[in-house]
Amino acid sequence: MMSDDMTLVRGFAANQSEPAFAALVERHIALVHSAALRQVGDAHLAEEITQAVFIILARKAVSLGPKTILSAWLYRTTRYAAADALRARRRRQAREQEAHMQSILNQPDTDAWAQLAPLLDDALAELGETDRTALVLRFFENKTAREIAGALRMEEAAAQKRVARALEKLRAIFVKRGVTLTATVIAGAVAANSVQAAPVGLAVKVSVVAAKGAAVTTSITTIVKGTLKIMSYAKLKLAIGITAGILLAGGAVTVAISQTSSDDKLAQEIIKKSQDAYAALSSYSDSGKISAEVGNQTIPTTFNIRLQRPNLYRIEWTQTTAFFTNGGTVWSAGNGDFLVMKHGQYNAQPEKCRDMQTALADATGISGQASSTIPGTFFNQNWGNVLKLNPAKSTLQKLKDETVDDVDCFVLSTIIDAANLPSKGKLPNNAGKVGKTTTTFWIGKQDYLIHQAQTIVEGASITLPQFSDSQIKAMVERQNKPATPEAVAAMRTQLQTITKQAQQAQSAIGSGKIVSTQTHENIVVNQKFSPADFAR
């Protein structure tokens, strides 16, 4: 049904289809009205907020993207509308909410719900967007773990874990406010009581007002205007927060190093426990993101990883920069190792690699290291295993503990200087050189898995390759194509385009400093996969 929502939204946006909008209202009005009523404790005002929210949906329909989860969007908009209405009319929210909800509830968890109702929406507002969306889908819309996984684009086991963690965070927020109920009781009370049937006739009234643009009261117009301002302000705050995060990322390691611990033995023990933790896993999957700062450019990459012993894997990624967009997949479903990539409009043919080590190494640069950090460590590769440190070439330090996505982590840092590298820091194949590389790991205190890794390369330069006719011909043949003059010419044109874009990227490096931060989320271990789960 979630995919149907955006089909209806697009239908309304395209031709103002009243049946499409009426279907959306009928489907979601109970959620919106219940949330509004819970927050304001006033039936009349809740109806006005409900109308305002669907008016906003009608106005915003054309701008909503295909990946929008409409129920979560409506809930967030209701939250904004209720906050603005309360601010304008100076309602005493908590007392009126509790009194009204107690008068309409007849469920077994009424006592628990009476404690939760006045606090629920403020508590949900303190959660992150993904946690809040997971709870809205599970307890407001009664979605299954499979449906939640599809909406949030993650594995089913990861969705279950996300709901459980979000529920525990919600319970902790309630405890701070004096409500000491178990997560099970909270889940039952919210699921049973959070969405009540909207008043008879309200759906028809909302459809007429929102979709047809019928006249509304001054108070509703005020709510609409105020809510749109809040939504715009929220987007501005998000943009500022993202910008601040990018600016602070470069200084994170400098701050951490100033708080270094001298306990080298403990650092070595943590590395050993992390190595043992990966070695004990039968399978591993996660999703995540990489932010690479190259000069004054930020290159974002998203990825999904799935690994299973002895030799099954699939890593997918998408990377976007000011100069180019690429993506790709490296995989083995048990019948060989393959790599395929897309660069702009250029779609390469799958390339069969010699072995796993070669495939993961070939994908490292174009995947932003997504194919090396965790896969190389999980499979204990000679190249790419970030935990296989060489004491003769690097220094290991334990820094101040930190959290990553609410996971308590040990923080370790290792530095490799170019003086300890072959040929004074030159990269293989005359690809360029580096000066000093600082790598920092955030290792979970409970699971001893890597939740974040950051690499800072200083004094870097890239040497752009020159390709001969014979090399270009070999590239065409590696794609299982006949090396005709036309195919060779097409490959040469593609390489020239890529080289030009690489030159632009090289100029962006400027100072020669590259900062790459890789974060791993939705980690699931020891899940049973079949070879088909790894096929492209």
Predicted confidence (pLDDT) per residue in 250-306, tens digit: 333 323 333 334 456 788 889 888 988 898 899 999 988 888 776 666 778 888 999
Indicate whether 391 and 433 sit together in one domain: yes
CB-count burial class (<10 Å; 0-12, 13-18, 19+) for 53: buried
Residue 156 shares a structural domain with residue 88: yes
Cα angle for residues 471, 477, 480 (degrees, 5° grid):
155
Q: Do both 272 and 209 map to the same domain? A: no
CA geometry: angle 24, 28, 29, nearest 5 deg: 105
Domain boundary among 222, 237, 252: 237
What DSSP assignment string belongs to 14-69? HH--HHHHHHHHHHHHHHHHHHHHHHH--HHHHHHHHHHHHHHHHHHGGG--TT--
For residue 359, being part of any structural domain is answered with: yes
Q: What is the CATH number for 274?
A: 2.50.20.20
Residue 217 pLDDT: 61
Cis peptide preceding 310, ω within 30 of 0: yes
Q: Which helix (H) or strand (E) holds 379?
A: none
Q: Looking at the domain assignment, is residue 258 inside a domain?
A: no
Final residue in a domain of this structure, among 237, 252, 274: 237
Residue 17, in any domain of the structure? yes
pLDDT at 228: 67
Element (H, E) at 231: helix 218-257
CA neighbor of 520 nearest in space, from 404, 439, 408: 404
Same domain, 200 and 288: no
One domain for residues 220 and 295: no
**254 belongs to a structural domain:** no
Look at residue 289 and tell me if it is in a domain. yes
pTM of the full structure: 0.47
Residues 372 and 499 in one domain: yes
Q: Which long-range contacts does 75-79 make (Cβ < 8 Å, 24+ apart)?
A: 75/31, 75/32, 75/35, 75/132, 75/136, 75/140, 76/132, 77/53, 77/227, 77/231, 78/32, 78/35, 78/36, 78/39, 78/49, 78/50, 78/53, 79/35, 79/39, 79/121, 79/124, 79/125
Tell me, what's the pLDDT at 313? 93
Smallest CA-to-CA distance from 230 within 28, 76, 8, 391 is with 76
Domain shared by 54 and 168, yes or no: yes
Nearest by Cα to 129 from 47, 28, 40, 242: 242
Residues 441/453, Cβ–Cβ less than 8 Å: yes
As a whole number of angstroms, the distance between CA 462 and CA 471 comes to 20
The reply to whether 39 falls in a domain is yes
Query: E strand or H helix at 405, and its extent?
Result: none
Query: Which residues have C-beta within 8 Å of that of residue 377, sequence separation ≥ 6?
Result: 275, 278, 384, 385, 386, 387, 388, 450
What confidence score (pLDDT) does residue 212 get? 55
228 and 274, same domain (yes or no): no
Q: Is residue 252 part of a domain?
A: no
- My answer on whether 186 and 313 are in the same domain is no
The DSSP result for 161-175, as a single string, is HHHHHHHHHHHHHHH
Residue of 307, 464, 469, 474 whose CA lies nearest to 374: 307
| Size of the chain in residues | 536
What is the rounded distance in angstroms from the CA atom of residue 122 to the CA atom of residue 342? 44
CB 498 within 8 A of CB 508: no
Count structural domains, the chain. 2
Q: Which helix (H) or strand (E) holds 315?
A: strand 312-320
Supply the DSSP symbol for 443. E
Element (H, E) at 393: none
- Domain end: 219, 237, 255, which one? 237
| Positive/negative CA dihedral, 226, 231, 232, 233 | positive
Torsion of CA 140, 142, 143, 145, to 10 degrees: 110
Question: How does pLDDT run across 479-502, given as a tens digit for each residue?
Answer: 556 778 887 887 777 666 656 655
Q: Which residues of the chain have pLDDT under 50?
A: 91, 93-108, 235-262, 323, 345-346, 420-432, 509
The answer to whether 361 and 509 are in contact (CB under 8 A) is: no
292 DSSP β-pair partners: 299, 516
Residues 122 and 90 sit within 8 Å (Cβ to Cβ): no
What is the model's pLDDT at position 34? 93
In a domain, 32, yes or no: yes
State the pLDDT at residue 253.
31
C-alpha distance across the termini of the chain, in Å: 27
* Residue 308 belongs to domain spanning: 264-534
Both tokens assigned to 179: 């409500």
Considering only CA atoms, which of 360, 345, 363 is closest in space to residue 313?
360
Q: Which two tokens stand for residue 409?
A: 């982590």
Contact 9, 24 (CB under 8 A): yes
Q: How far apart are CA 458 and CA 47, in angstroms?
A: 59
Please count the CA atoms within 13 angstroms of the CA of 68 that sit on its side-chain side. 20
**What does each C-alpha distance from 197 to 25, 35, 316 come to in angstroms?**
13, 11, 43
Asked if 223 and 282 sit in the same domain, the reply is: no
What confidence score (pLDDT) does residue 170 get? 92
The half-sphere exposure of 285 on its side-chain side, counting CA atoms within 13 A, is: 21
- Pairwise CA distance, residues 135 & 123, whole Å: 12
Same domain, 168 and 313: no
Q: Are residues 220 and 275 in the same domain?
A: no
